[in-house]
Amino acid sequence: MRVGVLAVDGARNLAPLRLEPRERFNVFVGDNGQGKTNLLEALYAVATLRSFRTSRLADLVAFARTEAKLGARVTKLGTTHLYELELAHGSRRVRLDDKAVRPLARYFGEFNVVVFTPEDLGLARGAPSDRRRFLDRAVFNARPEYLATVQDYEKVLKQRASVLRMNAQGTLAAGKLDELLAVYDRQLVELGIAIARARVAYVESIAGEVASAFDTIARTPHRAVVRYHATLAATVDDALAQLRAGRARDLATQSTHVGPHRDDLVFLLDDREAGAFASQGQLRAIMLAWKTAELVVLERDRGDAPILLLDDVSSELDPSRNEYLFEHLAKRAGQCFITTTHASHVLMRAERADYRVENGRILE
């Protein structure tokens, strides 16, 4: 897979650009705050219609601009497609090969990107919500239809929370509580089980690759293990009973206490939780192993190496792990977009093009 052309206008601090990146390693060098990450975010957004930095795509629109236009010409297995995204505050327009996309699911599946940021290195010690978002990005790459399921679940979760608040405020008509919760509970359970199953299936598919990659990176007798912890029962009947049993607590707190919005991706070193017991170096090795495994799994399932967006990770890694990363990329990765503050952090000489990023401008 290769991005032949990337066009950006009106996004963040980026000056209008039309970039024709090289086939393998594209290295963007610049000081912090110059726009390096903004470039990766723009590419990620046109591929996924999401940002890896914010929940609102409209945040990509530059200050004092009314809209942003992003586009990428992408070739995969001999077939080329043009992906276009126009953003304005409160609206979004999507086109594929110069045509409006209906249904939107047609946009996804052929333009696969994997992003690795410095924040990912701290996930094992971070908040469960961050790990859920991290896992969801990976599942969405593998199963584009997963996004719609998550969005539907989030809508139902908000509707159920609204009912709980109305009951607490006394604005709900008598006898309506059980009727409404019966509807939302079933929807929540059906969507929640689908999400949990998709997450579990993905974790099971990547777990062996993570363990293997960790062995190579860390070179220790310890084992890296990843597991998914679900809070919702696995069958509809059991999950409905679980919600009914916890209803008093949900009503008291006006929130739902079980479901994929409460689940967690667990990283273990041997049989101990890595976030609590692993060293900083071991944690970084685990997360690096996950991302390299993600590339392997996606290439295996999709038939072509995905685009890799690597945001300033090399500065956060010790020399030996930095060396492993680029050895791996040289052998296995396809086209890469790499940002760094110092070109020397990127231990790659062949098939490499360097660009300077200054005040939002990409200079060759």
196-245: per-residue pLDDT in tens? 999 999 999 999 999 999 998 888 899 999 999 999 999 999 999 999 99
User: Which of 301, 323, 352 is a domain's end point?
Assistant: 301
pLDDT surpasses 80 at 313:
no
Could you tell me if 97 and 216 lie in one domain? no
Three-state DSSP state, 129? helix
Distance, CA of 207 to CA of 211 (rounded, Å): 6
- 282 and 133 within one domain: yes
Question: DSSP state, 333?
Answer: -
In a domain, 30, yes or no: yes
Give dist(CA 329, CA 120) in Å, integer. 18
Judging by DSSP bridges, how do beta strands 2-9 and 17-19 pair with one another? antiparallel
Does residue 153 lie within any of the structural domains?
yes
Enclosing domain of residue 130 = 124-301
Rounded (5°) CA angle 330-334-338: 75
pTM for this model (two decimals): 0.88
What's the total number of domains in the chain? 2
C-alpha span between 212 and 103 (Å, rounded): 39
Structure-token pair, residue 286: 């685990």
DSSP code, position 174: T
Is 239 part of any domain? yes
**Are 65 and 171 contained in the same domain?**
no
| Cα distance between residue 136 and residue 196, in whole Å | 11
In this structure, what CATH number is given to the domain that contains residue 260?
1.20.1050.90
Report the CATH number that the domain containing residue 12 is assigned in CATH.
3.40.50.300
Number of Cα atoms under 13 Å in the Cβ half of residue 354: 14
Q: Are 345 and 318 a contacting pair, CB within 8 Å? A: no
Q: What percent of the chain has pLDDT over 90?
A: 73
Q: Where are the alpha helices (DSSP H) in the chain?
A: 36-48, 128-142, 146-169, 176-218, 236-245, 247-253, 274-277, 280-302, 319-332
Least confident among 122-126, 199-203, 359-363:
122-126
166 with 269, same domain: the answer is yes
CA dihedral 51, 57, 62, 68 (to 10 degrees): 100
What mean pLDDT comes out for the span 89-96? 92
Is 146 in the same domain as 291? yes
* Two structure tokens written together for 285: 């090795």
Residues 6+ apart with CB under 8 A from 14: 8, 35, 38, 39, 42, 62, 360, 362
| Mean pLDDT (whole number) for 252-266 | 97
Distance (Å, whole) CA 268 – CA 285: 12
Q: Is residue 117 part of a domain?
A: no
Measured CA to CA, the distance from residue 53 to residue 59 in angstroms comes to: 10
Summarised one tens digit per residue, pLDDT across range 53-80 is 998 999 999 998 999 999 999 999 899 9
CA gap 293, 299 in Å, rounded: 10
One domain for residues 313 and 288: no
- pLDDT score of 102: 86
Q: Which residue has the tokens 């052998």?
A: 331
Q: Is 357 left (phi over 0), alpha (psi -120 to 50) or beta?
A: beta
CB 46 within 8 A of CB 11: no
Q: Give the Å distances, CA to CA, from 306 to 54, 72, 214, 328, 336.
A: 22, 14, 21, 14, 9
Q: Does 121 have pLDDT greater than 90?
A: no
How would you class 15 by CB atoms within 10 Å of its CB: exposed for 0-12, middle for 13-18, buried for 19 or more? Answer: middle
Domain annotation covers residue 119: no
Q: Where residue 106 falls among pLDDT bands split at 50, 70, 90?
A: confident
Last residue of a domain, one of 252, 267, 301: 301
What's the pLDDT score for residue 115?
92
